[in-house]
Amino acid sequence: MNEPRTGIVYIVGAGPGDRKLITLKGVECLQRADVVIYDLLLNDALLEHCPAHTEKIQAPDPRIRATRQDELNHLLVEHAKAGKIVVRLKGGDPYIFGRGGEEAVALTEANIPFEIVPGVTSAVAASAYAGIPVTHRDYASSVAFVTGHSAALRSDSNINWEQLATAVDTLVVYMGVAHLRQIVERLITHDRDPETPVSLVRVGTTPQQQVVQGTLTDIVQKVEAAQLKSPAIIVVGEVNRLREQLRWFDTKPLFGKRILVTRARAQASEFADLLEANGAEVIQFPTIKIQPVEGVDVPSPSEYDWVIFTSVNAVEIFYERLRKNGKDARAFGTSKICAVGAKTVEALNRIGIQPNFVPSNARGSAIAVEIGDVDEKKILLPRAKIATADLPNALREKGAHVDDVHLYDTVRVPGENREMIETDLLNGKIDLVTFTSSSTVTNFLEMFSAHQPTVLLADVKVAVIGPTTQKTAVEHGVHVDVVAKEASVKSLVAAIVETYHNFSQ
């Protein structure tokens, strides 16, 4: 009988908070994982890299379970011995105050193969996002990382505070917020200049990042006044003087704004990326999903004078149906192609088609006017089941023969974390709600039907992608603050940024 194969453990550093700071190798490990054992404070979005079958286990809370490390070691060994690919996903870097070394020793003793995937440690990343380089030719040629845990302050600690206080230019202290006063006292007692600049960076690299600055003389009072809590790093040294000149992250136009995205998850990535690039915290709350209508056979496009695509979904689903029938872009023959919007053009380009006509805007009346003479022309209009009749009616008034084919539907989905979202909306803890279609508006309001929109969104701004969505929102009693100039997520983000810029003036 064959012996069961032993798996492998990847001890992966996930970085300090920004989900994009994980390394490429770290992502590759997650994509192969059978089991992921992840730390409490990690960005949950990282788990989206895992395949559907991955078992996700949250590590025991060290604040509650004194035996946490032994339990973790046992889990790693147990799953690896079962032949699994195991990822131990840790905040920051596994070997910098991450106990990765302890876990690696336990694996070695159990004869389990393992690999270490380094991560970006918070001392470097949080400082950088705060505009503080830990080294600089004019300010600091040396840097030390030290734990500020209570054990580091005991008389029998192996940390030599007397030497450390003046031995390095920049001192970065992890896990030291609760013991800030004792740390400051030790540094001053051992001859660090009381006027040395100090910064505390809380939840660095995230949109909730908070920075408090002072000197060794007054930093304790400033931190208490700001009510700053852990997790945070403490940066001691002259490099802190560079923050005002080098800060870049917390000056982004949407920094600290919590923005709710109601778009279908499969389509929300570009929108979320653009918002995050401007500093926002994005809360994914899809209210719809795109679902192809079953049993709809797409006609041969070559039989029509025009094929009009009004969305990316229409292009992708139509082309997929063509492929299932053994056809490709050649099936369009000499038909002329109309594409509504830049993204629809891009979707057509991906299948090798350059549209003949792109209207100036997405309104049915504009398309019908600008497309030219269509009298007695055959037009194929593959689109959403819920689309309005404006476009086909306008084309028929011009004498066209229109086949309006319903390719897909927008289906309401169960709201993830609905109760938490509801509480945050009512308490004004969400700054902005975005709607990218009429269906996102109606489905969103149905999810919170216990509240009138004026109450639910009393302390929340609303942004919509265009006049049609705006009309739906207003008809349902929603006050709209932001309307995109063009029907695209880029234009919507630009309008949101402009609104907050004007608001701050």
- Interval 26-49: pLDDT, tens: 999 999 999 999 998 888 889 999
pLDDT at 305: 96
Question: Buried (b) or exposed (e) across 171-209, using 16+ Cβ within 10 A?
Answer: bbbbbbbebbebbbebbeeeebeeebbbbbbbbbbbbeb
* pTM value > 0.85: no
Alpha-carbon separation of residue 138 from 142, 145, 238, 297 (angstroms):
12, 20, 9, 70
Edge-first strand listing for the sheet containing 35-38: 55-58, 35-38, 85-90, 8-13, 114-117
CATH pick for 124-246 out of 3.90.1530.10, 3.20.10.10, 3.30.950.10, 3.90.45.10: 3.30.950.10
pLDDT digits (tens, 9 = 90+) for 185-208: 999 999 999 999 999 999 999 999
Local structure of residue 100 (DSSP, 8 states) = H
Confidence of residue 1 (pLDDT cuts 50, 70, 90): very low
User: Percent of the chain, pLDDT > 70?
Assistant: 96
Topology agreement, domain 258-287+413-504 and domain 291-410:
yes
Name the CATH architecture for the domain at 8-119. Answer: 3-Layer(aba) Sandwich (3.40)
Please state, as a whole number, how many other Cβ atoms lie within 10 Å of the Cβ of residue 306: 22
Average pLDDT of the segment spanning 234-246? 98
Beta strand 197-202 with 232-236 is antiparallel
Cross-strand pairs, 197: 215
Average pLDDT of the segment spanning 101-124? 96
pLDDT at 411: 80
Beta strand 232-236 with 170-174 is antiparallel
pLDDT digits (tens, 9 = 90+) for 63-78: 565 677 888 999 999 9
Average pLDDT of the segment spanning 86-101? 95
Whether the predicted pLDDT of 353 surpasses 60: yes
pLDDT digits (tens, 9 = 90+) for 292-330: 888 888 899 999 999 999 988 899 999 999 999 899 999
3-state helix, strand, coil in the chain (%, to 5): 40, 20, 40
Please state, as a whole number, how many other Cβ atoms lie within 10 Å of the Cβ of residue 135: 14
The rounded distance, in Å, linking the Cα atoms of 49 and 62 is 26
Answer with the residue of higher pLDDT: 494 or 266.
494
Alpha-carbon separation of residue 452 from 93, 445, 446, 461 (angstroms):
47, 9, 10, 15
The rounded distance, in Å, linking the Cα atoms of 473 and 462 is 9
User: Percent of the chain, pLDDT > 90?
Assistant: 75
E-strand stretches of 163-270: 170-174, 197-202, 210-215, 232-236, 258-261
Q: Where are the domains of the chain?
A: 8-119, 124-246, 258-287+413-504, 291-410
Whether the predicted pLDDT of 265 surpasses 80: no
The pLDDT mean for the chain works out to: 91
Give pairs for 420-425: CB < 8 Å, separation 24+.
421/260, 421/283, 421/285, 422/448, 422/451, 422/456, 424/258, 425/260, 425/456, 425/457, 425/460
Whether the predicted pLDDT of 132 surpasses 80: yes
Strand, coil or helix: what is 369?
Answer: helix
Confidence of residue 263 (pLDDT cuts 50, 70, 90): confident
CATH number of 258-287+413-504: 3.40.50.10090
Residues in CB range of 166: below 8 A, 6 or more apart: 190, 191, 192
The rounded distance, in Å, linking the Cα atoms of 18 and 129 is 10
By the 8 A CB rule, do 339 and 348 touch? yes
Whether the predicted pLDDT of 234 surpasses 80: yes
- Per-position DSSP letters for 24-90, written without gaps between them: HHHHHHHHH-SEEEE-TTS-GGGGGGS-TT-EEEEPPPTTT-TTHHHHHHHHHHHHHHTT-EEEEEE
pLDDT at 504: 65
The rounded distance, in Å, linking the Cα atoms of 359 and 342 is 10
Alpha-carbon separation of residue 149 from 97, 159, 221, 228, 230 (angstroms):
10, 11, 20, 17, 12
Closest CA to 496 of 290, 276, 203, 187: 276
The rounded distance, in Å, linking the Cα atoms of 452 and 220 is 46
Angle at 211 between CA 207 and CA 212, to 5 degrees: 155
Average pLDDT of the segment spanning 131-143? 97
Average pLDDT of the segment spanning 171-191? 95
Confidence of residue 384 (pLDDT cuts 50, 70, 90): confident
Average pLDDT of the segment spanning 126-135? 98
Local structure of residue 479 (DSSP, 8 states) = P
Q: Hunting for tokens 């269509």 — which residue is that?
A: 374
pLDDT at 236: 98
For the CA atoms of the chain, what is the radius of gyration? 28
The rounded distance, in Å, linking the Cα atoms of 110 and 356 is 66
pLDDT at 228: 96
Confidence of residue 291 (pLDDT cuts 50, 70, 90): confident
CATH number of 291-410: 3.40.50.10090
Confidence of residue 281 (pLDDT cuts 50, 70, 90): very high
